[in-house]
Chains A and B, each alone.
Chain A
Amino acid sequence: MRTIEQTTQEILQLATQQFKVPAGSLAPEDDFYQKLGIDSLQALEMLSRLENHFKIELPDYEVQGVSDFRTLAERIQARL
């Protein structure tokens, strides 16, 4: 079982790869809309990728209003 820290780090790594930002430039408290400069559709694509990676299903309502990596990690952790 992953720890919340591991989950958070994996999310940051996946986002770094997907949106091609410099390694180490993302932090857990970052707002991903702002930091990655993405729109709501790109955020949904990121969620699909995270679902595949963690092999979970994240219902849409679980991620409504979530905009930082840390909260996202908590929502994912609860479903692992």
Chain B
Amino acid sequence: MLDLRNYNSIGEALRDALETWPAEVCLIESDRGEEKLRMTYRAFKDAALPLAKALQDSGISAGDRVSIIMTNQSKWLISAYAIFYCGATLVPLDFKLKPEEQWQLLKHSAVKILITEYGIWRQLGASQGRTGAANLKAVLVTEAPSNAELNGGVRWEESHGAQLPVFVPRSRPDIACIVYSSGTGGTPKGCQMTNENYLEQCMALTSLYPFWPGVKYLSILPTNHAIDFMVGFFGPFTCGAAVVHLRTLRPEYVREAFPKYQITYVSLVPLVLKNLQKGLQARFDALPGSKRRAFEAVRNMNRALTKNRPRLWLSRKLLGEVHAAFGGKLEAIIVGGAFTEPQTLQFFYDLGLPVANGYGLTEAGTAVTVNDLKPFRADTVGKPLPGMEVEIRSPDAEGIGEVTVRSKTVMAGYLNEPELTAETIVDGWLRTGDMGRFDASGHLQLFGRKKNMIVTEEGKNVYAEDVEQAFEGLSVKEFCVFAASYIWPQRSMVNEKLLLVVHLEPGQAFAEELRTEISSRNSRLINYKRVHGLVVYHEDFPLTASLKIKRNELAQRLAAMDREQSILLI
């Protein structure tokens, strides 16, 4: 791999990568089992530079913001490289957000050019949210049908500058990306990630999980997500490896891709991993008695022989059929975005399929700790990566306290939010809001959060305040949304739920009509943002002088109520 210590920016490192492995394949794209594209590093460069020139011709220069809203595909990475080549700042947004939410973030980050897909632009361009996006000068639209109305957009495929672009150098402290960790309802949390953040994180991760020419990474997590950006783009590219994109992400095509491309690494969220576990378990359970017993004996043998460290060659021999279904070349499944239950991790490890679980957050440059598998410890989230200082602040009698992080990978701060930044990064230490402790062998264990938020099994961060908009104007005196564990702390990070707390008007009774109104508003929220239950509180909410709800105080008062008896399911 490239020695990233010698580089100042993502753009500079990528530029050298394209020169270092010109004949290696960097991208493979498949749709519904049919391969549509196979691209070398040389061809990648030839596709990206004319786009970079077109961006420069449109006036894009150092520090200007350019956004990508696309599904996982080759043009995402080509566009990103063109942006970095111009020295611009990339604003990767989630293609799954609603158009109004995407406009909100495009405006918040003052994006000048947007690069998106026709299918996304059709909805985005027609959205009311477009009004007032004064900074946006151009929209480049990929894959538009020949007769399509582009609503002010121009075709990506025709965005070519005639001459070569000029490479714009950037320094390590310059902002490379603005990555939104949340905030479409409340305060937008645009994490300003520097070139140094990415260079250091990449070095740390690849020291444990290396890439090399010939490696094939299957990209499933959205590329705007910090994990896929790192292990599905920057990491593999700086090592000469290839990234496989599937244009239709359905379980049957994902299953097929493993053996077809002999995938080396894949990143998944816990929900998908659990689904895989369920499918495999059903197949094991369906084996006839004698075969099942034989399989279990081999699995036990594998567990014993890999107790101290993985022995992939041995596991592939012992459990050949299982490994063949994954292509026979899988080095590790990287799981991230949310907490994974230990029994799921152990299930895969016992099959000789190591799962690299860890702990991280966008604000810390993705991963803070990763399981190094020496030995595999399903009950922890691993040890701090090289270069990460992790401390537990204000530990209780059991050693559990807030996890804080100091590292070159910690973001520069939240965009336009100096106060929030000052609360989050104190004396150089990132306060994660997650509760944990180190065990005797230096592995981190997590025990819930002190933040009023949840993380779903799909890896979605949902801040309670962001959901409140959906209930504005509800026919009650006042209301507030809480993460259940914020009121009643639980020492776990699974099965997290949101609750709506309402205080009725004087004399108002809790009627079916109100429940229906709440349920109807709730169902208009995207599925992972919905509240799970309702709590009726009979006193006035504590308020600040400026009439804002004192959430901490209200949560403390609610904590005195019995959790089970107080929650009405919606």
**Interface residues, chain A, with chain B CB atoms under 8 Å away:** 31, 33-34, 39-41, 44-45, 47-48, 57, 59-62, 64-65, 67
Contact = CB atoms under 8 A, between A and B. Distances in A.
Contacts of A57: 32, 248
A60 B248 contact: yes
B123 to A, nearest CB: 8
26 contacts: A31-B527, A33-B527, A34-B523, A34-B530, A40-B458, A40-B527, A41-B251, A41-B272, A44-B249, A45-B250, A47-B250, A48-B250, A48-B252, A57-B32, A59-B119, A59-B247, A59-B248, A60-B71, A60-B247, A61-B119, A61-B120, A62-B119, A64-B96, A65-B98, A65-B526, A67-B523
Contacts of A61: 71, 95, 117, 119-120
Contact of B526 (A47, A62, A67): A67
A64 B122 CA distance: 12
Nearest to B118: A61
Interface string B504-543: 0000000000000000000100110010000000000000
A59 B247 CA distance: 8
A33 B251 CA distance: 18
Nearest to A61: B119
A44 B251 CA distance: 8
Dominant secondary structure at the A interface = helix
Interface of B: 32, 71, 95-96, 98, 117, 119-120, 247-252, 271-272, 275, 457-458, 523, 526-527, 530
A33 B95 CA distance: 19
B497 to A, nearest CB: 14
Given A31-B527, A67-B526, 12 more contacts: A39-B458, A45-B250, A45-B251, A48-B251, A57-B32, A59-B248, A61-B71, A61-B95, A64-B96, A64-B120, A65-B96, A67-B523
Contacts of B252: 48
B222 to A, nearest CB: 11
A33 to B, nearest CB: 4
Central interface residue in B119, B120, B457, by most chain A CB within 10 Å: B119
A27 to B, nearest CB: 13
A14 to B, nearest CB: 16
Nearest to A41: B275
Nearest to A40: B458
A48 B271 CA distance: 19
A59 B32 CA distance: 10
A54 B457 CA distance: 31
Contacts of B251: 41, 44-45, 48
B98 A39 contact: no
A60 B457 CA distance: 20
Nearest to A38: B527
Most buried by A among B71, B117, B250, B457: B250
Nearest to A42: B275
Contacts of B527: 31, 33-34, 40, 67
A65 B32 CA distance: 21
Nearest to B527: A33
A40 B271 CA distance: 9
A42 to B, nearest CB: 9
Nearest 5 interchain pairs by C-beta: A61-B119, A33-B527, A31-B523, A48-B250, A41-B275
B465 to A, nearest CB: 22
A59 B70 CA distance: 13
Contacts of A40: 271, 458, 527
A20 B203 CA distance: 49
A65 B127 CA distance: 14
Most buried by B among A47, A57, A61, A62: A61
A46 to B, nearest CB: 10
